[in-house]
């Protein structure tokens, strides 16, 4: 694969990022690039928080991957800071070519740079291939996650 560069996202990347978020079975039901206003507001919140980093992978000047890295301070593990990786996406034509591995490795590298003691992520239970992928990268399926949706679509 051609050289991939990683950088922090800018507002100019927003449309490409949302398009990638919407380009899968789960994302297509909850994301839409038709109205970017809600995403602009979320981007502004992420951008101003020093504990958040929205990464992009770039190839030939085009955004081809993304992940959000959040630093979470805590008391557990002797006050360790943990990194949470969220919203990992790779542009459809490049899936299966190693870009996802590079993206996760970049997240781990950045977490280490920021002094994190561990990196964690969640993956929807239906994403069996993603679970195998994360396992091959050394992640252990050590927990069962639970979610409580506080946003009803009629409230948006």
pLDDT tens digit string along 85-134?
999 999 999 998 999 999 999 999 999 999 999 999 988 888 888 888 88
**β-bridge mates for residue 103, sequence order:** none
Percentage above 70 pLDDT, the chain: 96
Confidence band of 153 (pLDDT split at 50, 70, 90)? low
Residue 156: what pLDDT?
45
Is the overall model pTM greater than 0.85, yes or no?
yes
- Backbone phi and psi for residue 132, each to the nearest 5 degrees, phi listed first: -65, -45
Expressed as residue numbers, the domain containing 112 is 5-155
**Overall number of domains in the chain:** 1
Distance CA 65, CA 17 (A): 8
The CATH number of whichever domain residue 63 belongs to comes to 3.40.630.30
Q: Is the pLDDT of residue 54 over 70?
A: yes
With both helix axes pointing from N to C terminus, report the angle between 128-136 and 99-113 in degrees, rounded to the nearest 10. Answer: 60
DSSP the chain: ----EEEE--GGGHHHHHHHHHSSTTGGGT--TT--HHHHHHHHHHHH-TTEEEEEEEETTEEEEEEEEEEEE-SHHHH-EEEEEEEEEE-GGGTTTTHHHHHHHHHHHHHHHTT-SEEEE---TT-HHHHHHHHHTT--------------GGG-
Per-residue confidence band for 1, with pLDDT thresholds at 50, 70 and 90 = low
As a whole number, mean pLDDT of residues 29-44 equals 87
């Amino acid at each position: 694969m051609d050289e991939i560069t990683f950088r922090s996202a800018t507002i100019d990347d927003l449309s490409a990022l949302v398009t990638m978020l919407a380009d899968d079975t789960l994302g297509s039901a909850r994301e839409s690039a038709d109205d970017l206003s809600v995403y602009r507001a979320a981007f502004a919140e992420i951008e101003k928080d020093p504990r958040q980093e929205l990464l992009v992978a770039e190839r030939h000047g085009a955004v081809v991957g993304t992940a959000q890295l959040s630093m979470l301070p805590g008391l557990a593990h002797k006050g360790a800071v943990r990194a949470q990786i969220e919203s990992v996406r790779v542009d459809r034509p490049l899936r299966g070519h190693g870009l996802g591995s590079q993206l996760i490795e970049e997240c781990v590298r950045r977490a280490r740079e920021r002094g994190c003691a561990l990196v964690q992520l969640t993956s929807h239970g239906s994403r069996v291939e993603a679970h195998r992928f994360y396992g091959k990268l050394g992640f252990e399926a050590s927990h069962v996650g639970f979610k409580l949706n506080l946003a009803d679509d009629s409230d948006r």
